[in-house]
Amino acid sequence: MTMNERAPDARLGSERVAFRRGVSLLVLTFLIPGSAQLIVGGRGLGRFAVRVWLVVWTVVLAFVALALLRRDWAVAVYAHPATQWIASVLVVTFGVGWALLFLDAWRLSRPRSMGGRRYGIAALACLLALAVGLGGITASAASRSQAQLFGTVFAGGGDGRAVDGRINVLLLGTDAEPDRPGIRTDTMMVASVDAETGRTVLFSLPRNLQWAPFPTTSPLHQVYPKGFWCADQSCLLNAVHTETANHPALFKGVDDPGLVELRGVISEILGLKINYYAMVDMRGFETLVDALGGVRLDIAKGVPIGGGSSKVEGYIQPGKGVLLDGYQALWFARSRHGSSDYERMVRQKCIVNALAKQVTPMNVVTRFNALADAGTAMVRTDIPGSDLMRLAELADAGRRLPIASTSFAPPLIEPVKPDFPLIRATVKADIAASEALDREAAASASASAETSGSATPATAPTTSAVPEPEASGEESETPVVASTAGKARGEFSGERRTDDLTSVCGVS
C-alpha cells in the first residue's frame, strides 16, 4: 500500500477517535458538569462547576435525610415561599450554566477534526444544552408558581392540634352577585376528619338557617343575645359574614371579622372546634375543576344550566360516570332552578366527594402550575404550608374510605327554628358511628393478619373502599348537556344521610 493510499485510512481513523472523544466529553458533562473542562482544558471553570455540582448534591442529600428523619420539618422548609423564590433563581441559573458547559465541551472536542461527523456531535451538544436549559426554565417557573401558592394561599393561621382525635375543616363557598353587596357564604360544610385514619364525616348547613348562635366571646353576641334573627327573615346563616360590616366599631384591628364570626358561629352550632377553613369563590371554582381536568360523577337527574334571573341554557344530562368540565360542575353545584336549596346542598356534597376521591398526588403534580394559578385566584385558607404533608397524607388515606354525610335540613332540622341541641347530638352520634367503623376495620385487619401471619395496616380499608367511577360506553353516546332534561334515574335526596355519600350521588 502506497503512502497516498494510507492517508485516507489514517484520516478516517483520526476522525473516529476525535468523534468518540467528543461523545465522551458530552457524556462526562452530563454526568458531572465541569468534568470535561477539568480533563481537557479550562480547569478553573471546571473546578468551579464541579464544586457547584457537589454543593447541589449535598443540599439534595441533606434534604432527603431531613425528610426521612423529620418529614414535617422538610415540608415546612420546602413550602416556605422564600425557599421557592430562591430555588426559582438558582435552578434557572444552574440550567443555563449546564447548557453552556455542553457547548463548551463541544468546543473543546475540536469538532473540525471529526470531519463529517462534526455535524452529528454538534447536534447532540445542542440537543443536550437545549434540554437542560429548558428544564431549568420550566423548573424555575414551577418554583415561582409554588412560591406564589404557598405565600398567597397557604399563609397559615390555623390550629393543627386535634381535639378528641379529629381535625375539623370548614369549607365555604361564596356565590357573589353583582347586585348583591358583601360576601354571601351559600355553601357551608365542615369536614370532620379522623386524625389517624382520615375517615371523614361531612356536615352541611343550609344557607337559610335562622337563630344562629354567636359565641359569648363574640361582640355580636351582645347585639343578638338570642341568636341571629330579624323580623324580616333576612338574618340567615349565609349573611353572618356580611352582617359584621354593619358593626365596624366592634371589630377594630380584626383581620376579616366576617370570617372570624362565621367560623365561631358554625363551631357553636355543631359543637366542634374548627381547625382550618378554606373559602372558595364559586365562580372561580370552574377554573379549579378545569385545572384538574374535570370531575367525574354519577348524576341522578337533569340539572339546569342557568335559571333565576338568567335563561336556562340547557340541562346537564343524567348518567353514570359523567365527566363535567369546570363550567358544568359549577352549575351542577349552584343551580337552584326547579329544585330546592336542600337538593343543591346534596349536589355540592357530591362534587366534594367526587373531588376527594379523584384528586391524587399524581394529577396534582402533573397539573401543579394550573392548580397554583387557579388556587391563588379563588381560594383562601389558613392552612400553613408546614401542615400540608400531614393533611395530604390524611386526605390520601381518606379517599380510600367512604365519606359519610349529614345535611341539617328538613325533615331532620327546620331552618326557621332549628333545634341546636339536636344538631350537636347528631354530630356526636355520627362521629361516634364513623369511629366505630374504624375500630371494626382495625379489628378485622388484626384478625386477618393473625390468620394469614402477615401484618396488615390497621387503617387499610377492606371491603368498604369505594372505587373511583369509571367511564362507561353510555358516556360517549349521551351528551353532557342537552336542550331538555334527560330521563331521571332517581332523586338527589335531601334527607339526612350518614352512610356512604357515593350512594347519594350514584342513584341507579
Q: Is 185 helix (H, G, I), strand (E, B) or coil?
A: strand
* Amino acid letter, 102: F
Which of these, 9, 17, 27, 15, lies nearest to 116 by C-alpha position?
Answer: 15
What kind and span of H or E run contains 342? helix 341-358
161 located within any domain? no
Task: List C-alpha distances in Å: 494 to 223, 322, 334, 373, 436.
Answer: 33, 21, 15, 34, 25
Looking at the structure, tell me whether residues 171 and 143 fall in a common domain: no
Q: What is the DSSP string of 247-297?
A: -GGGGTT-SSHHHHHHHHHHHHHHT----EEEEEETTTHHHHHHHTT-EEE
CA distance 213 to 316: 38
User: Which three cell numbers, joined as nine digits, stand for 405?
Assistant: 354525610
Looking at the structure, tell me whether residues 148 and 178 fall in a common domain: no
Looking at the structure, tell me whether residues 86 and 233 fall in a common domain: no
Domain that holds residue 299: 166-359+396-505
Please answer whether residues 475 and 492 qualify as being in contact, where contact means their C-beta atoms are separated by less than 8 angstroms. Answer: no
Looking at the structure, tell me whether residues 81 and 172 fall in a common domain: no
Task: Report the domain count for the chain.
Answer: 2
Burial of 98 (0-12, 13-18, 19+ CB in 10 A): buried
372 located within any domain? no
Please answer whether residues 233 and 155 qualify as being in contact, where contact means their C-beta atoms are separated by less than 8 angstroms. Answer: no
Please answer whether residues 276 and 263 qualify as being in contact, where contact means their C-beta atoms are separated by less than 8 angstroms. Answer: no
Looking at the structure, tell me whether residues 291 and 402 fall in a common domain: yes
Looking at the structure, tell me whether residues 225 and 76 fall in a common domain: no
What pLDDT score does 495 carry? 62
Task: List C-alpha distances in Å: 376 to 288, 332, 338.
Answer: 10, 23, 34
The DSSP symbol for 385 reads G
Looking at the structure, tell me whether residues 264 and 306 fall in a common domain: yes
pLDDT per residue of the chain (508 residues) written in tens, 0 to 9 = 555 555 566 677 777 877 888 889 899 999 999 999 888 877 888 899 999 999 999 999 998 898 888 776 777 777 777 888 888 899 999 999 999 999 998 888 887 777 778 888 889 899 999 999 999 888 888 777 776 666 666 667 788 889 999 999 998 888 655 444 557 788 899 999 999 999 999 898 998 999 999 999 999 999 999 999 998 888 999 999 889 888 888 988 888 888 899 999 999 999 999 999 888 877 678 888 888 888 888 888 888 998 777 788 899 988 888 899 989 998 898 888 878 788 888 888 888 888 877 776 565 655 655 665 655 555 778 888 777 778 878 887 887 888 888 889 888 899 999 999 999 999 999 999 999 999 988 888 888 777 776 544 444 443 333 334 444 444 445 788 887 877 777 777 666 665 556 666 654 3
Which of these, 58, 37, 40, 39, lies nearest to 48 by C-alpha position?
Answer: 37
CATH number for the domain that contains residue 282: 3.40.630.190
Q: Beta strand pairing status for 295-299 and 303-307?
A: unpaired
Looking at the structure, tell me whether residues 207 and 273 fall in a common domain: yes
- pTM confidence score: 0.69
